[in-house]
Amino acid sequence: MKKIQDHYFNRAKRDNYPARSVYKLKEMDKKFKLLGPGRKVLDLGAAPGSWSLFAAHKVGDRGLVLAVDLNEPGVSFPEQVSFVQGDIFEDSSEVARRIRENAPYDLVMSDMAPKTTGVKFTDQARSFSLAMQALEVAGSRLRPGGGFVVKILEGPDIRELQDNMRTMFKRVKHFKPKSSRAESKEIFLVGLDLTGPKQS
């Protein structure tokens, strides 16, 4: 496990990314074709900035990445990345205004993680809550046909998240990146081709 961890950590340093998490997004992009020139991306929980940097490279000069986090990323972004600091889920905030102004998006991606307590079920519940909130943003801000990527800690709530995504996307996939640490309980759900909520 240590060798894998060191490999991706060192590789990120060589590639000038602030965190090894970039390779998780690279794997998902390669498999699901999430990013491309001219696309518009919303990155929820963007710090320390690796996902936004990779997305910026993929969307190019004609694309846009709106990166949002409670914390400053601590890296310099290219011109096609716009960073806004604040709470994604406060409707009256500057963050919410910027998200609305730049909508609709081709991809909403969330690598958000809760502050962990070390209590398994508490951490899972907090992760699920963040994932559901990210899904709500995706449902209201994606264009038809758009995609969604969300991280969640493994637990019993994954089924509920997956079921909710299936009412909105034509395809929903589980993905465990090779670049995730072997001991990590994180997985990613990928929603492809937004259709909108099913009519009851």
53: tokens are 């940097």
C-alpha span between 14 and 23 (Å, rounded): 13
Domains and CATH numbers, the chain: 2-194 (3.40.50.150)
Residue type, 139: G
Tens digit of each residue's pLDDT (9 = 90 or more) over 13-30: 555 554 567 889 999 999
Distance of CA 142 to the CA centre of its chain: 13
Mean per-residue pLDDT, 3-18? 54
Active site residue 151: yes
> Rounded to two decimals, what is the model's pTM?
0.88
Provide the pLDDT confidence category of residue 165 given band limits of 50, 70 and 90: very high
C-alpha span between 137 and 91 (Å, rounded): 11
Residues 189 and 127: beta-carbon distance below 8 Å: no
Share of the chain above pLDDT 70, in %: 82
Tens digit of each residue's pLDDT (9 = 90 or more) over 78-87: 999 999 999 8
Residues 142 and 108: beta-carbon distance below 8 Å: yes
Tens digit of each residue's pLDDT (9 = 90 or more) over 81-122: 999 999 887 876 889 899 999 999 999 999 988 776 667 778
Residue 5 above 60 pLDDT? no
- Other residues' Cβ atoms within 10 Å of the Cβ of residue 96: 18
Catalytic residue, from 2, 40, 151, 176: name it.
151
